[in-house]
Amino acid sequence: GIQVEQSPPDLILQEGANSTLRCNFSDSVNNLQWFHQNPWGQLINLFYIPSGTKQNGRLSATTVATERYSLLYISSSQTTDSGVYFCAVVHVGANNLFFGTGTRLTVIP
């Protein structure tokens, strides 16, 4: 099956710092989504980005499908950004999301 690797696994930042999270995948995909899992477990949609670049406030994402990676940028981090960030892809021919192992972000004041 498809492999999805996220890096780094853990990240600790001072409030106000910027960060880049990376997602590598091993095969062609039709769909790529970034999620933030809140402390209660719900997955919050950040970006639906099978290719290209999108921005939403302090967050932006870029997917280069031909090179099989996606990046999530968080600028001017806040303590509320803490949590686990997941990248998930849909392999060509499938209908389900395949998740990476996540990046646990901790933002300290």
Mark residues 84-103: x for contact with other proteins by CB under 8 A, - for none. Answer: --x-x-x---xxxxxx-xx-
If binding means CB under 8 A, how many residues of this protein chain bind other proteins?
Answer: 22
Task: Decide whether 68 or 77 has the Cβ nearer to other proteins.
Answer: 68
Q: How many residues does the chain have?
A: 109
Task: Decide whether 50 or 60 has the Cβ nearer to other proteins.
Answer: 50
Mark residues 26-45: x for contact with other proteins by CB under 8 A, - for none. Answer: ----xx-x-x----xxxx-x
Q: Is 63 in the site for other proteins (CB under 8 A)?
A: no
CB 46, CB 54: distance < 8 Å: no
Q: Strand locations in 1-109, DSSP E?
A: 4-7, 10-14, 19-25, 29-37, 43-48, 52-56, 59-64, 69-74, 83-91, 98-99, 103-108
Q: Is 25 in the site for other proteins (CB under 8 A)?
A: no
